[in-house]
Chain A
């Protein structure tokens, strides 16, 4: 995508320098004149630069990662600009193509971009600063050590002479580049850009409606496609009235796609192509497709619940963890509580419906995609079309939300396949109904749990039978249904089992914002609240007691290295923020609930205050969130936005999100039966970050999980009703009349 500022490709050819291993976090510094957009466009390699400085001092920084609303197109360039000592007002950002020969980890997922790029991106900037300082020193014939950089200017300290970066760029590009490993990073106390709020780079264009999203891609001669798939998963086209569709106005193509059987790439369906999207989708009604419903047409949510109840009575398929003697300890407990928790399938529904634009010419494929994992998409295109990876060009275009849906690239493979058949650029766009009926869903699950408390009300024994979706023979989970054996309260109680039984599933599943954690946190932190109530203890005190003294639970995963001390601090912090200790003076049917969680390397403790009307209607009054994501909040305004958005996302799930299956097909269609939280239901959300000495971690996900159980625990405090099913059924909350 051509962005705001040209990159000077002629300068690249002439004085182009690179430092360090390209794949290890390549660094390029180029310089150039103005007005060379045409040449830059003709020279894709110009996009390989991370930093380009023009003679007028404009600094162009490449944003390498996919932007889906998480703010990465602003944040990664901030890291480079900080160490470059750039004047941020002179920085322009261009979006990179997806290209593993030049960039690493071009992924939007797992809250990984901050920990992965925190140091490498700063090293790129530091190398640039070093070259600019050396260029100034050479110009003045003084030792580089006498020169300092700040705000896009190098100053010779003894003489007070200055040169700005624009004036130095040409000479700097001729300096031998330093080894990225050897460059000196700034003292973090001197940061001027990191830690200062920077508004979203694309926002001025967004508020004016300029076309920058995937759906806005327009190419000469482009046509529009829709792709109808079988309502049941694994189903296939038997027949379709292609001629009737082709007879509709503007329709140029209608054809059956066999697919390759991989739902993440290309399934069986019917493509309709027309000279406008409306005409293409209008022709779907004429297709009259007969489907072979495939092997999963007997699956239903009601059936899953029955199977789960039966499996819970039988021996487990898999024991994930067994500590001590849980049965004996349970029998010896002073008090035992039991509960069954169940959460549903959930769809991602990013606001921008799934789409992709593709053009196939001979063996060459060109893609415009808002994917969160464009390289996974490349592999899918290569697999399905039988082309070479190097013949696939992927332009990354802003995505209207991701939430994990765009980790899967079915829309990319579909677009490429259809475009090859059509022989013209094709924009594939899914109707919202396709998005809801053909997601890679957050899997549902069932937990049958027992907790034994000792005479002091401490957790003594814990048993969890998780009825998960997966393969009972292979003993494997479907995507994102996995549970680690270390799931809390493991390691905080001596006698514990986490056991699993599996239900086979035909529907595809996948990661959704805070995958695994978004369901397990609700389950465990809700049941933990039941334990606190059974023990007659303050829910925060009970959690602090179970966490024990500050300690670290070691392990290799992103959910391991759980530092209980960091959670303790946050629980105490959110207690103060929320006025927790005064909650007993709240009015009737108003209550507070708490929960904490550690996932994606980040810690959050949250309190929700809720008021439940006599009708059962739930009003969330306020949410307080305390987070610990390490030593720096790189872009504070975006951090606040992400944390507040995560809270809204969690509340929306808890209050309404449910995907059900009947006859192997998803029952829901659009926002009328898959509701999303709107303005009137959005509470004030107060967010505070507690800085610690740990390296900064990501924020796309960890603020979400605790709000779901905190809400349910608040409803319990307000009404005495324990909610063990999601989404929340307000009929259970109706005030009982005496």
Chain B
């Protein structure tokens, strides 16, 4: 593949946090044991004015602050989320307008559970390669939903990442990408339903692990690479255990995944998860660092990427926007009642 890749990046994590132990205590559960079992201490919570559109705008603005691209040169925006504010009416138009990229612009909202953001990166990469656009903006963001008392309530959180894709001033080349997709109903939300349903343990072996291991193996086959060839690796992180386990299965070490493993501190940001993980790595990456990324979306599929950081990363003004580590540290704890208000649990029909 010619030198097409990431030109700039940004991310956004809401500053409110709720501890797993606080959620557990409301339901009479053993918080310490749940926290240990899931490998997660706390999760981010969107405030009452934050949604996928605002998180996407913030992440996109951060990406633009770090580079010197004219937003009018962005020819496509794809936003992946399972919590688009509207069922009909795109999030992408809101973001396009907010960053000044309209009107000569391709826009579509994507949904593929937690991998819709990386699907957007693939689309932008293809459009740039086809010379149909100069720059594409791919965003993965969510304010994910979990029914009160459901196991997902401990992890479902909010956040997003934005990546500008192009072929000029590329800071990280996308060497290879591929996907592995099947119809596997492990997690879903029917139309008109407020909260998703899931297949409990079916979300593990036949879903998450099968798709990630197959996709990751395929990418390494295409790239003729081995786990030890990479400096960093990111796997989708629905909880703190799965990404560590899948890394071990594939032969990656904890040292390779730790920079991109954010779920213990912010929870599962769904479409934002691997995107923020990648942003966290780019916050510290050096030229020639090689990055391996495999996302996972229920339903189900995985997108795999083989990425190499270039010399241009030195020119990127990374300091112009907050790093992922800074956003993780900038937090304010709330208790369950406030959490319930902010996440609209207190509604009735």
A binds B: no
- List the interface of chain B (C-beta within 8 A of A): none
